[in-house]
Amino acid sequence: MEHKTAALAEADRLMTVCNSCRYCEGLCAVFPAMEMRRSFADGDLTYLANLCHNCTACYHDCQFAPPHEFAVNVPKVLAEVRNDSYAQYAWPAALRPVFRRNGLWIGLACAALVTLFLIGTFLWNGAEMFSAHTAPENFYALMPHNVMVALFGPAFLFAILAITMGARAFWRDISARDMGDGAGQAGIDHARAGHDAGALTYLDGGGDGCMNADEQTSDNRKLWHHLTFYGFLLCFASTSTGTLYHYLLGREAPYPWWDLPVVLGTVGGIGLVAGTLGLLRAKLRQYRDVRDETRFGMDTAFIAMLFATGLTGLLLLVLRATPAMGVLLAVHLGVVMTLFLTAPYGKFVHGIYRYLALARYARERRGALGAQHA
What is the number of other CB atoms lying within 10 angstroms of the CB of residue 154?
11
Whichever of 26 and 153 has its CB closer to another protein, that residue is 26
Amino acid residing at 166 = G
CB 239 within 8 Å of CB 152:
no
Question: C-beta of 66: minimal distance to another protein in Å?
Answer: 8
Whichever of 2 and 69 has its CB closer to another protein, that residue is 69
* Closest among 116, 83, 56 to 302, alpha carbons compared: 83
Whichever of 38 and 288 has its CB closer to another protein, that residue is 38
Question: C-beta of 368: minimal distance to another protein in Å?
Answer: 10
CB 99 within 8 Å of CB 86:
yes
Question: C-beta of 353: minimal distance to another protein in Å?
Answer: 26
Question: C-beta of 76: minimal distance to another protein in Å?
Answer: 16
Give the list of residues 6+ apart from residue 309 with CB closer than 8 angstroms, or none.
235, 272, 332, 335, 336, 339
DSSP string, 284-299: HHS-GGG--GGGHHHH
Question: C-beta of 13: minimal distance to another protein in Å?
Answer: 10
Whichever of 29 and 109 has its CB closer to another protein, that residue is 29
Question: C-beta of 19: minimal distance to another protein in Å?
Answer: 5
Give the list of residues 6+ apart from residue 244 with CB closer than 8 angstroms, or none.
none
Question: C-beta of 201: minimal distance to another protein in Å?
Answer: 15
Whichever of 205 and 265 has its CB closer to another protein, that residue is 205
CA distance linking residue 46 with residue 51, whole number of Å: 9
Question: Measured between alpha carbons, how far is residue 13 from residues 20, 25, 40, 78, 110 in Å?
Answer: 11, 17, 9, 12, 40
Whichever of 74 and 113 has its CB closer to another protein, that residue is 74
Question: C-beta of 38: minimal distance to another protein in Å?
Answer: 6
**Binding residues vs another protein (CB under 8 A):** 16-17, 19-27, 32, 35, 38, 57-58, 60-65, 67-70, 205-208, 215-216
Whichever of 218 and 294 has its CB closer to another protein, that residue is 218
Whichever of 205 and 231 has its CB closer to another protein, that residue is 205
- Where would I find the H helices in the chain? 6-19, 30-35, 42-51, 57-61, 74-88, 102-125, 138-142, 145-174, 186-199, 221-244, 260-285, 296-318, 325-342, 349-373
CA distance linking residue 220 with residue 237, whole number of Å: 26
CA distance linking residue 207 with residue 72, whole number of Å: 22
What is the number of other CB atoms lying within 10 angstroms of the CB of residue 253?
17
Whichever of 178 and 208 has its CB closer to another protein, that residue is 208
Question: C-beta of 220: minimal distance to another protein in Å?
Answer: 17
What is the number of other CB atoms lying within 10 angstroms of the CB of residue 155?
17
